[in-house]
Amino acid sequence: MLLLTMCAGMFLVQLDVTVVNVALPSIGTDLAALQWVVDGYSVTLAAFLLTGGALGDVFGHRRVVLTGFALFGAASAACGLAGPVPWLVAARAGQGLGAALLLPGTLAVITKAHPGRAERARALGIWAGVSALALAAGPVLGGAIVSATGWRPVFWLNVPVVLAAAFATRRLVPRGGRVPGRRIDVAGVVTAAPALGAGVYAVIAGSAVAGILAAAALAAFVAVERRSSDPMLPPDVVRRTRGPNFVAAAMNFTGIGTILVLTLYLQNVRHASPFEAGLEVVPLFGPLSLLAPVAGRLTGRFGPRPLMVAGLALGVLGMLNLLLVNENSGYPALLPTLLGLGTGMGLLTTAVVTAAVDGVPPERAGVASGVNNTARQAGGALGVAVLGAVSGSGPPAVGVVAAALWLVAIGVTVRAPRDNPVARAG
């Protein structure tokens, strides 16, 4: 029940990554700035995930997860009531802030409750499977609701789930007070959020000013972390997780970016309804949902590296299939891409998360989760921006960029040292 409750938090976070995609054309008839309806959530989530993980490590993850549920539920209601563009984008940012508290906390609670490596990998497989189910449910559920009642009820869906999950968290997750001897790295928090948020915004908006701000904030973050006696991002966490975190970023760059591109392609080029577009991307999400728990068991037995290489290779093949797709192609031409990417991510997701949390001390589980999820969400936000821009040149351009990035990720995985968590067998 504890695992299921923490999975509910992850379900909400991932649902709101994709549930909005099929609603964008309908929202666009009333509002503008469609990209920021997606990225207002993703950028804020990426900016504060590291902070959310660090807060949980200091104050206890139960308290931080409950705060995240409260913020996420209130912001979801605000999205449902949104009027002008700034209101909706601000409410989506509020959802992202709540999600940034939820996501690392749920993973840290699961990690602590399953201390054995094989046991933890199986639990993370279930967690990843629920995450994939949320991604799959988003387009289908969102498409059905938008087609029947409009886009606003899409956001009201979150409220009853939040209430139930918060109640279960209070009952099931052990209380935990502030950790003795630990303190909040205030300087790290103040510099990390603008470094991450402005960096993602600079790529999305092509803003030189934001790029300069991000670089300055990153330099300040590195400087204050070197002087801190209790840094928010300890050097050993960075060293142990840099490989899986790069792969995690590459995974979401291609996965989230391609999901957006394909749902818009199906509606704008193939003239599918929102509900039809949601159903047509199920071949991507089906393998992802079904394979994640299986991948958890395999990761526990063989270690993360074989699953990561296999998943990335299948994804590369799927994305290269887009070289054969154009505006006159039928839906069957997309199936190899949907199946290849879905199967690849199904094998990859659990292995990447396991590699990131293995080998770090339990008291650093929150920040390790925060770093990994920061990489994933920042990668997803950048994927929406970059692949969205590249898609103007047609599906082949999207396929080339995504396949090239995942080939680099294969190289990073294969070259991981033998004592790295990526290479460690269960």
CA dihedral of 335, 130, 303, 381, whole degrees rounded to 10: 70
174 and 253 inside one domain = yes
User: What is d(CA 279, CA 282) in angstroms, rounded to the nearest whole number?
Assistant: 5
- Shared domain for 93 and 51, answered yes or no, is yes
Tell me whether residue 424 is in a domain. no
Flag whether 308 is in a domain.
yes
Residue 163 is assigned to a structural domain of this protein = yes
Phi and psi torsions of 281, nearest 5°: -95, 5
What average pLDDT does the segment 381-406 reach?
A: 88
Is 116 within a domain?
A: yes
Residue 420 lies in a domain: no
Whether 238 and 173 share a structural domain: yes
pLDDT classification of 402: cutoffs 50, 70, 90: very high
What single string gives the DSSP state of each residue in 298-365?
Answer: HHHHH-HHHHHHHHHHHHHHHHHGGGG--TT--GGGGHHHHHHHHHHHHHHHHHHHHHHHTTS-GGGH
Task: Clarify whether residues 180 and 192 are in a common domain.
Answer: no
Q: Which of 85, 403, 365 is nearest to 237 (CA)?
A: 365
Residue 223 CB: number of other CB atoms within 10 A? 12
DSSP assignment letter at 175: P
How far is the C-alpha of 159 from the C-alpha of 194, rounded, in Å?
Answer: 29
Q: Are residue 285 and residue 191 in the same domain, yes or no? A: no
From CA 227, how far away is CA 375, in angstroms rounded? 24
Residues, the chain, total?
Answer: 426
Instruction: Read off the CATH number of the domain in which 268 is found.
Output: 1.20.1250.20
Identify the band that residue 349 occupies on the pLDDT scale cut at 50, 70 and 90: confident
Q: Which of 170, 196, 229 is the last residue of a domain?
A: 229
Residue at 341 is within a domain = yes
Start-to-end CA distance of the chain, whole Å, equals 25
What digits encode the pLDDT tens for the residues 212-221?
999 999 999 9
pLDDT-derived band at 406 (thresholds 50, 70, 90) equals very high
Give the whole-number percent of the chain exceeding pLDDT 70: 92
Q: Which domain holds residue 205?
A: 186-229
Longest dimension (CA), the chain: 63
Within 81-185, where are the H helices? 85-113, 117-149, 153-156, 158-172
User: In terms of domains, do 211 and 139 share one?
Assistant: no
Do 218 and 110 fall into the same domain? Answer: no
Domain assignment of residue 423, yes or no: no
Clarify whether residues 143 and 218 are in a common domain.
no
- Number of domains, the chain: 2
pLDDT tens profile 182-198: 777 888 888 988 988 88
Query: Do 322 and 406 fall within a single domain?
Result: yes
Domain final residue, candidates 212, 229, 246: 229
Q: What share of the chain is helix, strand, coil (3-state, %, to 5)?
A: 85, 0, 15
Domain shared by 194 and 250, yes or no: no
Range 66-84 average pLDDT: 90
282 shares its domain with 408: yes
Question: Which of residues 229, 251, 282 is at a domain's end?
Answer: 229
Domain annotation covers residue 338 = yes
Per-residue confidence (pLDDT) for residue 426, from 0 to 100: 45
Contact present, 52 and 104 (Cβ < 8 Å) = yes
Q: How confident is the model at residue 404 (pLDDT cuts 50, 70, 90)?
A: very high
pLDDT tens figures, 155-176: 888 899 899 999 999 888 887 6
Averaged pLDDT for residues 13-42: 71
Highest mean pLDDT pick, 123-132, 160-169, 272-281: 160-169
Torsion of CA 391, 395, 397, 400, to 10 degrees: 130
Do residues 209 and 249 share a domain? Answer: no
Q: What CA–CA distance (Å, rounded) separates 341 from 273?
A: 23
